[in-house]
Chains A and B, each alone.
Chain A
Amino acid sequence: MEEAVTKPTKKGGGRLCCICNQRRAALKRPKTLEQICRECFYEVFEEEIHQVIVDNQLFKPGERIAIGASGGKDSTVLACVLAELNRRHNYGLDLFLLSVDEGITGYRDDSLETVKRNEVQYGLPLKIVSYKDLYGWTMDEIVKMIGLKNNCTFCGVFRRQALDRGASLLKVDKVATGHNADDIAETVLLNILRGDIARLSRCTSIVTGEDGPIPRCKPFKYTYEKEIMFTYAYFKRLDYFSTECIYSPNAYRGFAREFIKDLERIRPRAILDIIKSGEDFRISTSTKMPEQGTCERCGYISSQKWCKACVLLEGLNRGLPKMGIGRSSRGLNNDPKKDKDIKQSNGTKSIENKQCGSLDF
């Protein structure tokens, strides 16, 4: 499924664009190393994404699509491109911006300001769901409780569920995320390094969660991060927020990320080759895959009795934040459920209800 636009590179002459042969070449395209002009780059970039959308039938006319918007470069470019393609090719989609507010002072509030500006620029309605509203805890409070170590576990679990809950509130049919080719290639490598065969079989799918309530799709699956960030967003002068999260020193992911950057320098198409390998892996169906069910407490998808978010939340509310981390959490899930011993950390009764009761959606 490689989208290689093979054009003969013009070696002589005064560096004209090798596609239109008229305008002056403004950039060397990261994916193919062709020298092309700005307008041709916009065209091939957007057309490739359009081709991915059409080939994989990601959207249908009349569907409501939520774009996961963090204010960063990937989601900003995704919002811009989807709005443009929706207009140009008459997809007939209702597009929304969906943001998650983790409650990180000095980081998320600034990035959400960017998303609010995107809402105005692209004319897409914005919905923000926050950890505070859903779980009663902000990331600042969580980090204060457990420290910097393991806080990414809470944030990752909560954000994934929060995105689904926000999508449900918007009553959308699908969620589009800005995962690009570099992210997917990195995930393939990490799953090999960690020995996670179950995830290895589905981490290259362009649509995930099709059996769940709201599927997610990745229109940027074959789009390089360099093209998104350094080329398209730069030349279009898009407004995006680029600061990294202040709570996440993630050294392990950095190894694989660095390796992929080195690979890309040697051979740009290696990123697509990794994705191709991930798609071509033949994994036996007899290999054990975790069964999917629903959480007893909140009804979210879970292979255990309680979903991960509820386990972590219970730990936070009890003042035992380590409860959901490590292998001991399996013992907790298997235990008969005890009466809740809820710490009243907040006075508001509605917040108490959200903590204690089922989180309906």
Chain B
Amino acid sequence: MACNSSTCQSNSGCYKREEEPISSKSSDSNQQSLCVKCKFNEPVSGTSDDGRFCRECFRSNLYGKFKLAVTSNAMITPSDNLLVAFSGGSSSRVVLQFVHEMQQRAQKNFDASKDRSLPVFGVGVTFIDESAYHSVPSSEIDKAIEDIKSIVSNLAPPAKQLHVVPIESVFSLDSLYGKERLKTLEDSVSDATGKEDLLLHLRMLALQKVASENGYNRLVLGLCTSRIACHVITATVKGQGYSLPADIQYVDARWEIPVVLPLRDCLAPELNILCHLDGLKTVEFSNGPCSGINGLVSSFVKLLQEENPSRECTIVRTAGKLTPFHFNRIPELNDSNVPLATRRRQKRFNLKPSESISSESFCPLCFSPLSKSDLLSLSSCQNYDILDAACCSSCRFQIFPKDPSSMEHFLSVLPQPLLARAKNCSNGNHSSLRKQIQDCLLSESEDET
């Protein structure tokens, strides 16, 4: 899942949090306690109660989590070209900063080495303009884009290309026509939560499009522990328990461009504090009130986090024990093409060999793996439409229209890649669907014996 508006959601809660550090700074100087790690500097006020780090140790702790996630999951190799999704929020701002610092360090090493055997990975930045979906005034969005351009241009050398992409580009390059179809598509979804989830799916579609068209081979998202904890609960609440593990791993390679989450182990309040301490500029958007299930879950998780500071970590750790899918890892490199120096530096620990790579069927809209119960319900209703039959129960309930005439209209305004994906799923996976269904049916008859 992308992080743009979700980070903005956490952003709206951020500024309340930022008031606390300022007020507690004066009272903190009276305590004269020391950093628990270096025992030298004064601790940063406003950090979590259990750890009292100074500014430098707090920062290196967060960067350490980022770096460990990157190296232990082989997220970034020297020959990679990364696209960082930047929404303006604290999480994506930190991941942008950390990726930049890692690239800067790699560039220094490259300049200093004699043989120059390890190239420096490339970094690009993208911002998805969703003003057409949210009805944000254009003056506000123009100001935000200027701020983002300033942020990205300051992160040089090495220079990074910025791609500002409107969300309606998934329909057509013609902006007016795309906006019209986007509006029609949004209006055909009646469920408030369905509208929000549809935006998430379109956003990932846009991100994949930008990455694919501009030669990137990794998509970096700034999803943090807090955001993932909310997603765990929302997916459970929507009946997506089967596909939930796919969304919360460090790596998600079911997409054309693999998606990586290097900030998976960092909490949103920590990232907000880091932005505040380092003066990292963020861009805030005015979001409407969340009336659906996603908003309810956010407030619920926030309430629990206030009661118990380790609640979000517990939620993510629990969901982390569910079995991941075979695509939750960087695809194996072709060894013959990899230079020897790169192979030597690869640290791939904790990557168990995947047991049996089963062929998964995916919902064409949200691209979640379909469970066997979804497939069984598919086989029992053969008169369904191609797209409707192949989608998961959550999308069928909250995004697709109920009656057939509205369904035809809905299909006509869907973006072309989704339609192509649906047909591809229907044709390519039809035989595998039969195999899986036959297995289920056979096991069912065995149960009846």
Contacts and interface: CB of A to CB of B under 8 A. Distances in A.
A305 to B, nearest CB: 27
Given A278-B241, A280-B373, A194 B300 contact: no
Contact of B315 (A193, A270, A287): A193
A193 to B, nearest CB: 6
Given A200-B318, A280-B373, A266 B239 contact: no
B108 interface: no
Interface stretch (A89-97, A255-263, A295-303, A327-335): A255-263
A269 interface: yes
A262 B295 CA distance: 11
A283 B321 contact: yes
Interface string B227-252: 00000110111111110110000000
Nearest to B314: A195
Interface in B39-95: none
Interface string A198-213: 0010000000000000
B322 A283 contact: yes
Contacts of A266: 193, 292-293, 296
Contact of B397 (A194, A263, A269, A284): A269
Interface in B271-311: 292-293, 296, 300, 303-304, 307, 311
Contacts of A361: none
Contacts of A139: none
Q: Which of A193, A255, A287 has the most CB of B within 10 A?
A: A193
Interface string A36-52: 00000000000000000
A270 B242 CA distance: 15
B237 A270 contact: yes
Interface in A243-300: 255, 259, 262-263, 266-267, 269-270, 272-274, 276-284, 287
Contacts of B436: none
Range, interface on chain B: 35 or more
Interface string B181-195: 000000000010100
Nearest to A287: B321
Interface in A1-25: 1
Contacts of B103: none
B445 interface: no
Given A255-B304, A282-B242, A195 B235 contact: no
Contacts of B193: 266-267
B257 interface: no
Contact of B232 (A192, A270, A284): A192
Interface centre among A273, A274, A279 (most CB of B within 10 A): A273
Given A195-B314, A255-B304, A269-B397, A263 B237 contact: yes
A260 to B, nearest CB: 9
A282 B245 contact: yes
B236 A188 contact: yes
Given A192-B233, A280-B241, A197 B296 contact: no
B148 interface: no
Interface of A: 1, 188-189, 191-197, 200, 255, 259, 262-263, 266-267, 269-270, 272-274, 276-284, 287
Interface of B: 191, 193, 232-233, 235-242, 244-245, 292-293, 296, 300, 303-304, 307, 311, 314-315, 317-319, 321-323, 371, 373, 393-394, 397-398
5 contacts: A189-B236, A195-B315, A266-B193, A277-B237, A284-B322
Given A192-B233, A267-B398, 7 more contacts: A1-B373, A191-B318, A195-B314, A270-B238, A276-B241, A277-B240, A278-B236
